[in-house]
Structure 1
Amino acid sequence: MAGASGDDSTSRFWAWLGGIASLLAILTWLGVSNAQEMKELLAESSPPSSSSTPYEPSETVDTPDTPETSDADTSDSDSYDDSSGGSDEPESETSSPTPDPTEESFTAVSAGDCLEIYDTGRRADSIEWSADVPPDPVPCNSQRAGLVQVTSTTDTNCPSGAGKASWMYTSAVSGRTTKLCVTRIYQKYYCVLGKQVGDKTELGSMTAVDCKARQIPAAYNRIIHIIGVYQAPANASSRNCVEGPDDRTQYLAWLMNDDRTLLCGTIYNGG
């Protein structure tokens, strides 16, 4: 048995030497002349080193199927939620009502303003104002043929009587009504319309007219020339209009402004 073992060792030794001889022959054929070149050649021919982490076969992990995307589930973290009320389109603005310039002119008037406005006299039973909208205010001491002072812009019922009236406008746009209460301011040497009935002359207290007018509205038959405007004394009459002992003028007199103002006039004769 010992002889057999020695023979095996000898055989392996010679086999090893034969392998070395074969390797050297191959290297000589490849042109490797020294040990350094052999080392480099062996390094190039070696398989790449594996990671230090031992290789472990990957396990197959069952993952839930990705849910299909639907129209109702397309939002991400940057998307807005329709339920919050957001919208890309601008919200429609509430349209403002169409303005009514005439109403704005009426509401711009203040109590105490004086306006150059008068009754044309063309309507027998009601006032037809000389303008459709209130004109710009003027000084209350202006020498104007037709002048009124606004006493209220809030009264539902305006005071009535000689020299007092109301000017009202109802807007077809807003439906609101604006009413101006006005009182006439009389000026000396201007003319108003009158109507003779029997032995009396009724005065168109809110009217104004050109003293030399050739035609006047049908509701009137006289042009009255204002001669004096006075603070009315007690029991005032046309006698209080006389300007002196030699004054032979036939005066007409009217008490205005709740009997506080005496208005003296004559029928205009072109003088």
Structure 2
Amino acid sequence: MVPVAAILCAVAAAVALAIVFQEPLKSMADRLVSSSRSPTATPSQSGFSRPVLPEPVPTRAPASVPARTSEPTPTPTPTPTPTRTPELTPTPTPTRTPTSVPDPVDLAYAAIHSGDCLDMYNTGRGMSRTAPVSVDCRGDSALNRVVAVTTSAATCPNGVGREGVSHTNRNNSTTVLCLERQFRPGQCFPGTQANRSATSGLLIVVLDCFATQLSASLGNAVMNIRAVTSASQSCPVVNGYQVANWPVLDGTTKVCATVYLVTT
């Protein structure tokens, strides 16, 4: 059995120790309480402190990003090779070709048509006009009538008092007027007389009835037309004058003329 005295001694010793360690334990208790309030450490059952991790902040789930589809790699466009622009050569100003002025004679012939009458006539040395002029067929100046317009005199009708008048145009084309003389009383033409008889006559030629001299190529007489009749009729009698007659044109018409001898 333990003596009471020993027990009392042990109690006294414990009280003394408690007094001695009271202050340090209090300080330790305060620190432990302070540590429990601090977010950085939590006392463990073993008396050691461990770091207190902060509560994790809830993070927002990242928005779902659509899967990136692979895009085709673009084919690089080749850089065009620069071409050298040729220097522009100034276009020369074209020279204006002078407008060809139509020949007035060409125009005159082109204006004549079949059935027209002309004051142009054969003088025995050529035509009285360079360019034909259409006139009224009922007038005395209508000495010829156009029966055809062609390109060759060979196609004109034949007959005494008919002829083809040819004209070469500026473009080298040919215009031929087929003429038929319009015989009327009072007109004249040259001829030849021998032994008081008319032997020939140039009925296509229009002659001045008062001519007193003729070239040898025309003859030696002036034939003055007294009548134009049908071929079946007789010519009128003219006292003191010889009357000669010639079938003309297509042969159905007859010209009656007196003969005047002239010098050559």
CA distance in 2, matches of 1:229, 1:180: 24
Q: Give the match for residue 190 of structure 2.
A: 193
Instruction: Check 1:253–1:65 CA distance in 2 against 1; reply closer, same or farther (3 A cut).
Output: closer
- Size of the aligned set, in residue pairs, is 184
Task: Select which of 149, 153, 157 maps to 1:153.
Answer: 149
Unaligned runs of 5+ in 1: 1-63, 75-86, 123-127
What's the % identity of the aligned pairs?
A: 29
Decide whether the 8 Å contact of 2:158 with 2:250 is kept in 1: no
Q: Deviations over 1:13-67 (max 9, x none)?
A: xxxxxxxxxxxxxxxxxxxxxxxxxxxxxxxxxxxxxxxxxxxxxxxxxxx9897
**Cα distance between partner residues in 2 of 1:66 and 1:224:** 99
- Matching residue of 2:6: none
Cα separation, partners in 2 of 1:141 and 1:269, compared to 1, 3 Å? farther
* Aligned counterpart, 2:128: 130
Distance 1:215 1:230 in 2: 29
What is the alpha-carbon distance in structure 2 between the residues aligned to residue 107 and residue 160 of structure 1? 23
- Output the CA distance in 2 between the equivalents of 1:66 and 1:209: 91
What are the ranges of 5 or more consecutive residues in structure 2 without an aligned counterpart? 1-77
Residues 1:112 and 2:115 aligned together? yes
Instruction: Give me the TM-score of the superposition, normalised by structure 1.
Output: 0.57
Q: Considering Cα pairs closer than 8 Å and 6+ residues apart, tell me whether 1 or 2 has the greater RCO.
A: 1
- Choose 1 or 2 for highest CA Rg: 2
2:253 to 250, 261, 265: 261
Structure 1: 4+ residue segments shifted above 6 A? 64-67, 87-95
Deviations 1:122-177 (A, max 9, x none): 3xxxxx1111111x211212123x70100000263112220110000112x30101
Q: Secondary structure at the match of 1:106?
A: helix
Paired with 2:210 and 2:257, the residues of 1 have a C-alpha distance of 16
**Deviations along 1:157-203, whole A, 9 cap, x unmatched?**
112220110000112x3010111101010111121111235644211
CA contact (8 A) 1:228 1:241 kept: yes
Matches within 5 A, 1:71-220: 71-72=85-86, 97-122=100-125, 128-134=126-132, 136-144=133-141, 147-154=143-150, 156=152, 157-171=155-169, 173-196=170-193, 199-219=197-217, 220=219
User: TM-score scaled to structure 2, two decimals?
Assistant: 0.58
2:243 is the alignment partner of 1:251: yes
Q: Deviations over 1:92-123 (max 9, x none)?
A: 8887655222222111110000001221113x
Q: Is the 8 A contact 2:220 2:261 kept in 1?
A: no
Indicate the structure with greater strand content. Answer: 2
SS in 2 for 1:153: strand
1:73 Cα offset (Å): 10
Rounded to whole Å, the distance in 2 between the matches of 1:255 and 1:66 is: 95
Structure 2 CA distance for aligned equivalents of residues 250 and 196 of structure 1: 10
